Structure 1
Amino acid sequence: MDLSQLLASTGDGVMTILFFIIALSVIVAIHEYGHYIVGRWCGISADVFSVGFGPTLLSRVDKRGTRWQIAAIPFGGYVKFAGDKNAASVGGEEVEGAGPARNTMLGAPLWARALTVAAGPIANFILAVFIFAGFFLIQGQPTAKLIVASQHELPVGFESELLAGDEILFVDGIDLMSSEGPYLDSLPDAQYRTYTIIRDGEQIEVSGPNPFVPRIASLLPRSAADDADLKIDDVITAIDGTSVYTFDQIIEGVEAGGGGEITLDVWRDGDVIQLELTPRRVDNPLPDGGFEQRLLIGVTGEYFFIPTTEPVGIVEAFSRAFGRLWFAIRLSLEGIWQVIVGGISTCNISGPIAIAEASGSMASQGATSYILFVGMISVAIGLFNLFPIPILDGGHLVFYAYEAIAGQKPTDRALRIFMSIGLSLIGALMIFAILNDLVLCP
């Protein structure tokens, strides 16, 4: 049984919470382990490593004296280093029973404290890179020649004469593998296209649907399509009674509706059903940076045939993974800035409820989608923790930068004030995000 079947056979709400807890626990555990292991390498002892908060469910003490525990409230975790007053790594006035001061967070050199604090977000980025690299290694890359490996199941009206092993040279005279590929969308919409192929060493022409049929390859969580119960492998055959043969016609039909409710004829598992949905205005990221507000329903498409692939080398996989990491960081920072200056909607700020729903939605699309989602959330949590807000890792790094420049630590009174401000900011942001999830941007 795959994840989608499991989600369907059990209560959606229960499974959504479960997948959210799994994702959050993995991400937090990796984040905190980054703090722990670098702290240990830097000679700082850890008293507690906890996954979750509240009463302890399971625990053990290792030979170094660190208590590893799983707590009852699974929404987070922490490392309490020797010398910390609490899990926020706030130094205590005194250190009792922690060994030499050098082994405590309070007495460690500045460089050791800074590395230990920075290691948490960096661990999140490393987790994301390994997830992305694993995806590229498993997925592979298309071969230099466009060869059909298999085809997705499609309804009547989308018949294809292509066979597995066919090498596609042209579609209506256009080479999909060249810079001409995007121009296929500029051709008049037609139910069928002419494919020039090589089969058994002979060049022939066969008929088939547009390469980009109106089949749903993926769904965005909390999108109009997701809320309307569209599913992966659904084929949209008509919008408001008008037949649809290409994925581009979905975009045109959505825009033609002007944002009003539209009716979709959807082919699913051999039957045609009707679904109604209302497209939403979404701040859509552009490939070269920036955002564009468009009417979208939140679906993506792909070729109706599955091209053959070849393995990707480890170096290439990690190179692409770092590229995806940088893209995610850049997109997040640009999005935050656009929210601040009013360039895009504050609805782009999601809280735990939206993230939990997204966890369940991505899990229902399969293990690959869910694991990639975990990678993206790991990037977001790592980046968020680097913000220069007291209580967060970035706030601690700002204090350490002050200490390096001024030659002394901030006073305890200043730290308490800044920590209170940071806690208030985080609390206000969390309340706003939850309001977005429940009321403002449901």
Structure 2
Amino acid sequence: MAVDILVLSNGPGELATWVRPVVQALRQHLGCDRTIVRISVVLSPCPHATGKEAQIASSYPEVDRVQAAEHFLPFLLSGKTAANWDWHEKGVVLFLGGDQFFTVVIGKRLKYRTVIYAEWDARWYRWIDKFAAMKPKVFDKVPEKYANKFTVVGDLIAEVGNRKSDAGDWAGTDKLDRAGTGAPPLRELVGLLPGSKAAKLALGVPLCLSIAQSIHRIRPETRFVIPVAPTLDVQTLARFADPAQNPCLHLFANASAELHLTETPFLQTANGLQIELWTETPAYDLLSECSLCLTTVGANTAELGSLAVPMIVLIPTQQLDAMKAWDGLPGLLANLPLVGSVFATAINWLILQLGKGKLYAWPNIWAQAEIVPELIGKLEPEAVAILAIDYLSHPEKLAQMGDRLRSVRGESGAAHKIAELVCEEIEVQSNSDNN
């Protein structure tokens, strides 16, 4: 029996931490014969999208077909894809990001079984066949008669800790030896994760570069690397280190850098500090070798937490109108022509006021306590560097942070449990047709 598995998703974070491990698990359970099992990914619009989500999904070898987000609304309304895909008679719609309501509509139209990964809440449970819940509390408010639809699978992001990339063992390689001296790589490596969207990169890149230079002055043996987000290319990233192209650069001293396109590209600051640009994804092996990471908020904090990599989370507010990546109505207002910057400033100020005491990094949210430092405000690079140097100078502090991250990241195995639920729904559909 030939079956289709239609994966619904939306943003870059969901693709990296949800879709990737699940499609890998589906192929392990259902095999790689495309004439028997076909996996399609349909993307819906996302306020955090970069425009390269379809390209990322297409790069996953387990996936057969991908439709970009710009074609989603016609598909939702008519059931026809832009490429006029055919559909097998049997199949499952699997929700891994977006609006859960889409699963109901598309599942009914295709007459497929439906499975939703519910991270925080479960909706439309009357019309959905199965829910893969992150935690039991997801179905606390669900009527008892629907309880049989729910299975606790755990946190998909916890899969990161057990999914190393195929890039090989980082330790002992000469990947970072860009100076050409032939000296072996040093053990102390600091990762810089300034973000993947312009709203974060405008402040994140110059802030990270300035911090790196401050650390370098005190600890010249420390090496720095930026794992380039899969939605970026190195040229785009480098523009945010160019004073002619990033108006926020003047907010941070000594924050400019030039791009060098060697075999492994790097940014070089005015004082000669070279910061590696790592383009292989996912960069789990690389991140696991970092002594410490400086990162913005977002899915990257969840990935670092699942890898138990110590981090300092940076939320700079030097220019409030630069941050325009909010969801829903705030995001629409912040991106209006002419008046968008005014709205962005007001919205960000209000959110910061209301959010005092709020936790932003995923490991801290999981633990409901500040495991990793969250620095919010008009951040001074020198002050952040002093904090980072203190951690680097006291390995026992880093080890303690790593241990606490391991304790809250949850058990792995969610992807395989979701794949098992999909297999069960395929079997249910097959059995119902045979009766």
Question: Highest Rg: 1 or 2?
Answer: 1
**TM interval, short-chain normalised:** under 0.3
Higher strand share: 1
| TM-score relative to the length of structure 2 | 0.26
